[in-house]
Structure 1
Amino acid sequence: MKNCSVLVVEDEVAIRDMLRMALEIADLRCIEADNIMDAHAIIIDRRPDIVLLDWMLPGGSGIELLRRLKRDKLTEEIPVIMLTAKTSEDNVIQGLDVGADDYITKPFAPRELIARIRALLRRSGAMPSSERIEAGELVLDMSSHRVFLAGEPLAMGPTEFKLLSFFMSHPERAYTRSQLLDQVWGGNVYVEERTVDVHIRRLRKALQNDMGDCSHFIQTVRGTGYRFSPPGI
């Protein structure tokens, strides 16, 4: 597998050190910059596969660099995750409107960040998508359209399979029922949001056999929806 490169643009040394360790453990190559001028030069010269971009930086804000990247044909396709202590909805919307592919607020769990990085790298093509997605002893095989737990096949319906496939491809991210309907059922299909709850219950039941139980991987996020969070990502 290609050793994907991640540019970390962050002026706080302690956070950079933590991110470098997390990225290296995940077999991702870390490149570092502490201001937007150096970051832009590195992006042009070294073409990282993804950029982790802090919002507040010396010499200009991360949002300024993001605008610059998205205006340039040479850099507009590079995925960008915003790292920010700004949690208000307006700030999040601003970052996404400018072109950020994702955002994560400080403080954050390194495991969650690595999961989001891998998902973005797969979608961008920098990290090849596997026909098999694994989470512990749970394995989803796209080519055969089958799911295995501890080597034993699980029985589940087509909607539950699509739901699990989406969750396993996007771990550690909470999705509303409306978002799940759009992603799994399709935006042109009218289905009531409570239908999601029915299929979540069916999926949790299907994720159990005599060899084990992975139903707890599907977590309910109060006030939001659901998240796929297997241990040890």
Structure 2
Amino acid sequence: MKVGAKQRLATVFSLGFFALVAQSLLFREFFSVFEGNELGFGCFFSSWLLWVGAGALVARSLTRAVHKLTDFFEWLPLVYLPAFILQLHLVQHARMLAGVQPFELFPLAKMFPVAMLANAPVSFVTGLLFTIACAWLSGAGGLPPARVYFFEALGGGAGGVAVTAALAAGWPAETIFLVLAVANSSLATRFHDLAFNNKLYSARRRYITQYVAQYPLPDCGSKPSRRIMELTQRIC
């Protein structure tokens, strides 16, 4: 697919944005489940980085598969959506998975294995997509991989500001995710519109964005969530 360099950089920016927001929301949930245990912080970030490295290593070792995936990389950020939902549920049920009662302190012997399991989806996808993005961006007029680092970090910084502002405004985590889901799906399909200039893709973008806005999240009945659903048509 022929997508310009600016669109590619915008996609890389969105990767950093989503990864940072997702990490912040998941860490808040992790903090609650593990009751602010300092050892839990170390388990969270160490397991997160280990899975990011694992994802990058897998992408690096599968050269042929990575080359094929670059042909439709614009769709790959959508993998973040089910990965986030899966990881959120794993974190929320961490005590059940470890067999630790709510009134018990989380023992370190069980904490790290559960953290490794719960942190796998989003962090692994982050490492995988980041490595593929380097190959994908180099196909846009030979742009250097350093651009991936820069725009991913820029997106992460913007994501940090955005999630802080949203949480300070009282938005629940589910609503913040809903906004990201709509934005990610709209961005991916928008680039297909630009590449193909086809009404079919415009219709598909509208359908996907509306479908994502109906994700089965616990707080989708809240006023902010309903407002986001009402604005879906404008985003389309």
Identify whether the pair has TM-score above 0.5, normalized to the shorter chain: no
TM-score, scaled to structure 1? 0.25
Considering Cα pairs closer than 8 Å and 6+ residues apart, tell me whether 1 or 2 has the greater RCO.
Answer: 2
Instruction: Give the structure with the larger strand fraction.
Output: 1
TM-score, scaled to structure 2? 0.25
